[in-house]
Amino acid sequence: MSRIILTVRDLEIALDPSGVEVDRDVNLELVEGEVLGLVGETASGKTTAATSLLNFQRRGAKIVGGSIRIDDRDVLALGGSQLRELRGGVISYVPQDPGSALNPALRIGPQLREVLEFHGFGNSEAERRTRIEEMMAEVLLPSTEEFLRRYPHQLSGGQQQRVVLAMAFACRPKIIVLDEPTTGLDVTTQAHVLDTIRDLVTAHRVAAVYVTHDLAVVAELTDRIAVMYAGRLVEIGPAAELFAGASHPYTRRLLQAVPVLTGRRTLEGIPGFAPRPGHRPAGCAFAPRCSYAVAKCSAEMPPEEIVGQMHRVRCWRHKEVETQAPLLAHDDDRPLESCGQEGLITVRVTAWYGSREVLHDIDITLRARECLALVGESGSGKTTLARCIAGLHRFRIEGDIAFQGKGLPRLARDRPRAIRHAIQYVFQNPYSALNPRKTIAQILSQPLRIFFDYTRDQREDRLAEVLDLVSLDDTVLSRYPDQLSGGERQRVAIARALAAEPTVLICDEVTSWLDVSVQASIIQLLVRLQTEIGLCMLFVTHNLALIRSIAYDVAVMSEGRIVEYGPTDDVLADPQVDYTRKLLADTPKIEVAQLKT
Amino acid sequence: MSDEHLVPPGARFVGTREVGTAEGFVDTPEHDLGLSSPRGKQRRSEWVQLLLEALHYRVTQVGLAMFLLIVTLVVVGPYVAPHSPFEFVTDPYAKPSAIAWLGGDCLGRDVLSRVLCGGRSVLILSFSATAIGMVLGVSTGLVAGYARTVVSEVIMRGLDVLLAFPQIVFVLLLISVLGPQRWLLVLGVGVTLAPPIGRVVYGTTMNVKEGDFVLAAESLGVSHLEIISSEILPNIVSPLMVEFGLNLTFAIGTIASLSFLGFGMQPPAPDWGLMINENRVGLVIQPYSVLVPTALIAILAIGANLVTDGVAHAMIGLERDTGSA
């Protein structure tokens, strides 16, 4: 039995000065060399809990109770120089965005050396130099003089994250806290970073806490998983046990939201959203969203109960929950059927970005009432292609884009009104797609005003209609975008596109900024819209696991070319080119084998 | 009096800080602590919100008190002045007495009455000049920042040429050629204020323009003018307010200096800047005739600048809150 190196007891974090509770009764222990996944939706308090392991809180929050011990050190009692020694020496932290974690004005060599010098690692310049070479080799980066002299902006996102990892592992810490280190990266880079983390952790017996909202990411990496909801740990246990039959309804719902690569199943989002600090209901905070909830749930907070070896759960009805069937089975094996429609939009283009050719001889067809998925890593040209079709590409295009046989002008502005409203675009980032200074009503009326001559009453009816289509109620109309959650914002963005009554909807990585549980409900929504309204859809994504439930055809893009193009089921079952095979291998997945008890 | 002394180094920095960041609207996907924006609460327009927030700061309160003191003096002054500002009531440079509480000026006119009547020109002229500068700077900056084509280059290089002239020299040149006229003074100062404003607006606009919501409007076919006025402009209100305050301070200084140099208001008009010039010879015998107008100009400029400072602080505060929630 390995030694326990980290114990967290009754940790309590509150907002300062309002005293609103953020995290409460968090109990954790970490065994040497173990990887613990800390999973939860946005606003669940997982990052707050994770940074408190380093006795750090962001502005406005404060640790108000409990204890954290690393070996025999009381972390919360440390201050000043002792704390600085602890951070980076004994326990280190890898933040979400490597771009902001590295000092943009310093070359990476000096940044790495700084960590070693500060913690007095190595006795001489030569020794530190060797250590840097070692570190860089461990994260699979070159340690040549040329590379170390680069600035952070000269590295790719994946390389930056690996430099941050090298810094975190530099002084051979005992524990490392990873805060969604792969969220901003595409699947291929994410796979590399995850491999690197796995190698480092096993090679040096470092214990790790991996914070994420995506269970699939941690499935292959972690030994145990802790699930957080509204500031409390609702379930903690061995990963295999959780995947086979979680005891908490919330864990089950999270699992149900994970898309599976190997077979099709209905993705189900969790209705509602995780309550923010200060807005949390009494009793079990999950009760309002839980299908198992009984009166007792909203009255009293359930205690932590032990249900297995190192497996604890906080639910009044966990015994009933456990008897339910495992959730990850493929429940939907019907193949998607082609509507057999002819082409609506045909695209035969070569496009430039400035003077560089970025799309080469693209030839795809969007069929009426069908969804085509466009898959590839970042930089493969998929967004450029989507924007060419939407008329948002500002540079040179050769070839033609035809809508119902008629060629389209390059820019949306030059296209006739009928075409502009027929082709609608939903942007990747819901946080920048809505004007922060406009109310939702103003945002949604814009297309109505441009395309239709509605009276005031008609317009209001139409607003209510499109909101209904995306499952929002009309209380959002008077709000501003920053008063909505990410998922709600993306729904508003989709509603704006639907308000124009489009025949073609282009969705550009519309779920990449969202939690997995929210992603599932957006996908659910798009599938429903596609079948109900009969939309023709172009679904751009880097996640192959997503497309099974939505797209009939898939086009795989690499370096500006379509490398594989065919029915989704065929492509996923039997990819013809190496690139698709590699993408498939890199996509994080929960193996169905893992699920059999 | 030098303009630079009235502006704490931080103020200029604050006015331009948005240039490098896009935090105004780009949020992070992870926001654990929902600190602000309670759901469903109707909110006031941004500039009102900003002013109310700014009032929480001590600097704003002090600045506003100073500013309002001068404004009250200027508005009420002419009605309570004991004498006409043109009437000769004492000997030249007479000491303060019962007839003239602040003594007499170089020609024996009542200093108090001239002070009470002489603020209007500074206040009105500097406000108008700032307004002209804002209109010119904001419109050129918006167009240049939005267009991002050859047009932007032409506009921005044009502004650079204007920027190369020292402010005062430019206005002096203008007035010595066309004669000292009030509209020319206002126009001249306004034009010299425009280039820096244009640069700030240009940078901010380029940032706001990166937002996908601008692209979304473009894909719907919204006209350029409407995109600029209804998508971009509302997003740069905060920095514009700071720019206005900052430039008002500059304008007060410049207008007063020009009057002092004899290129602004002409004698016998009562005007603080002009009074300083007229009476400076008698500074030793009758200091009030110079010191009082000087102090009033200083209070006005410092007050305007403190308010601006408070607004800038409030802007950063609000940005940080909405940026993390």
* CA separation, residue B5 to residues A140, B255, B260, B298 (Å): 55, 16, 18, 10
- Is there a contact between B54 and B60 (Cβ–Cβ < 8 Å)? yes
CATH code of the domain made up of A343-595 = 3.40.50.300
* Spatial distance between the Cα atoms of A24 and A9, rounded to a whole number of angstroms: 10
Does B312 fall in a domain?
no
Does B105 fall in a domain?
yes
Would you call B212 and A433 a contact, using CB atoms and an 8 Å cutoff? yes
B7 has a pLDDT exceeding 60 = no
Q: Does B44 touch chain A (CB under 8 A)?
A: no
| pLDDT, mean over chain B | 82
Would you call B219 and A42 a contact, using CB atoms and an 8 Å cutoff? no
Would you call A433 and B222 a contact, using CB atoms and an 8 Å cutoff? no
- Is there a contact between A73 and A196 (Cβ–Cβ < 8 Å)? no
Closest C-alpha among B91, B115, B122 to residue B288: B115
B154 has a pLDDT exceeding 70 = yes
Interface A–B counts its CB contacts (< 8 A) at: 121
Report the predicted TM-score, pTM, of the whole model to 2 decimal places: 0.81
Does B202 fall in a domain?
yes
Percentages helix, strand, coil for chain A (3-state, rounded to 5) are 40, 25, 40
Q: Do B64 and B130 have their domain in common?
A: no
* Spatial distance between the Cα atoms of A48 and B26, rounded to a whole number of angstroms: 21
Contacts of A101 in chain B (CB under 8 A): none
By percentage, how much of chain A surpasses pLDDT 70? 95
Q: Which residue has the higher pLDDT, A267 or A221?
A: A221
pLDDT-derived band at A330, boundaries 50, 70, 90? low
Q: Do B90 and B69 have their domain in common?
A: no
Q: How far apart are the first and last CA of chain A?
A: 24
Does B25 fall in a domain?
no
Q: Which residue has the higher pLDDT, B36 or B248?
A: B248
pLDDT of residue B6: 36
A30's tokens? 């970490």
Q: Do B195 and B224 have their domain in common?
A: yes
A50's tokens? 């994770």
- For chain A, the domains span 4-101+170-322, 343-595
Query: How distant is the Cα of A44 from the closest Cα of chain B, in angstroms?
Result: 7
A81 has a pLDDT exceeding 70 = yes
Predicted confidence (pLDDT) per residue in A451-468, tens digit: 998 999 999 999 999 998
* Spatial distance between the Cα atoms of A288 and A302, rounded to a whole number of angstroms: 15
Predicted confidence (pLDDT) per residue in B205-229, tens digit: 999 998 899 999 988 888 999 999 9
Would you call B212 and A438 a contact, using CB atoms and an 8 Å cutoff? no
Would you call B30 and A415 a contact, using CB atoms and an 8 Å cutoff? no
Q: Do B62 and B127 have their domain in common?
A: no
Predicted confidence (pLDDT) per residue in B254-301, tens digit: 999 998 888 888 888 899 999 999 999 888 989 999 999 999 999 999
Q: Do B248 and B136 have their domain in common?
A: yes
pLDDT of residue A597: 36
* CA separation, residue A341 to residues A345, A348, A553, A564 (Å): 12, 19, 13, 21
* DSSP reduced 3-state for A215: helix
B9 has a pLDDT exceeding 50 = no
Q: Do B167 and B98 have their domain in common?
A: no
Q: Do B62 and B92 have their domain in common?
A: no
A326 has a pLDDT exceeding 80 = no
| Highest mean pLDDT: which range of A140-144, A208-212, A262-266, A543-547 | A208-212
A329 has a pLDDT exceeding 60 = no
Contacts of B235 in chain A (CB under 8 A): 435-437
CATH architecture of A4-101+170-322: 3-Layer(aba) Sandwich (3.40)
pLDDT of residue B30: 34
Would you call A475 and B40 a contact, using CB atoms and an 8 Å cutoff? yes
Q: Closest chain B residue to A448 measured between Cα atoms?
A: B220
Does B101 fall in a domain?
yes
Would you call A15 and B29 a contact, using CB atoms and an 8 Å cutoff? no
Q: Does B20 touch chain A (CB under 8 A)?
A: no
DSSP count for chain A of H helices, then E strands: 24, 22
Would you call A420 and B220 a contact, using CB atoms and an 8 Å cutoff? yes
pLDDT-derived band at B325, boundaries 50, 70, 90? very low
Does B251 fall in a domain?
yes
Q: Do B182 and B151 have their domain in common?
A: yes
A338 has a pLDDT exceeding 70 = no
Q: Do B130 and B195 have their domain in common?
A: yes
Does B207 fall in a domain?
yes
Q: Do B221 and B287 have their domain in common?
A: no
Sign of CA dihedral A397, A399, A403, A408: positive
- Domain with B147, as residue range(s), is 121-269
Would you call A183 and B218 a contact, using CB atoms and an 8 Å cutoff? no
Q: Which residue has the higher pLDDT, B6 or B132?
A: B132
Q: Do B265 and B129 have their domain in common?
A: yes
Q: Do B129 and B247 have their domain in common?
A: yes
ipTM of the complex: 0.78
Q: Does B322 touch chain A (CB under 8 A)?
A: yes
Query: How distant is the Cα of A379 from the closest Cα of chain B, in angstroms?
Result: 18
Q: Rounded mean pLDDT of B17-44?
A: 38
Sign of CA dihedral B315, B320, B321, B323: positive
Q: Rounded mean pLDDT of A421-429?
A: 91
Q: Which residue has the higher pLDDT, B132 or A28?
A: B132
Q: Closest chain B residue to A278 measured between Cα atoms?
A: B34
Across A147-151, A307-311, B276-280, least confident range: A307-311
Cα angle, residue B120 at apex, residues B116 and B122 outer, rounded to 5°: 115
* DSSP reduced 3-state for A91: strand
Same fold, A4-101+170-322 and A343-595: yes
Contacts of B26 in chain A (CB under 8 A): 429, 431-432
B4 has a pLDDT exceeding 90 = no
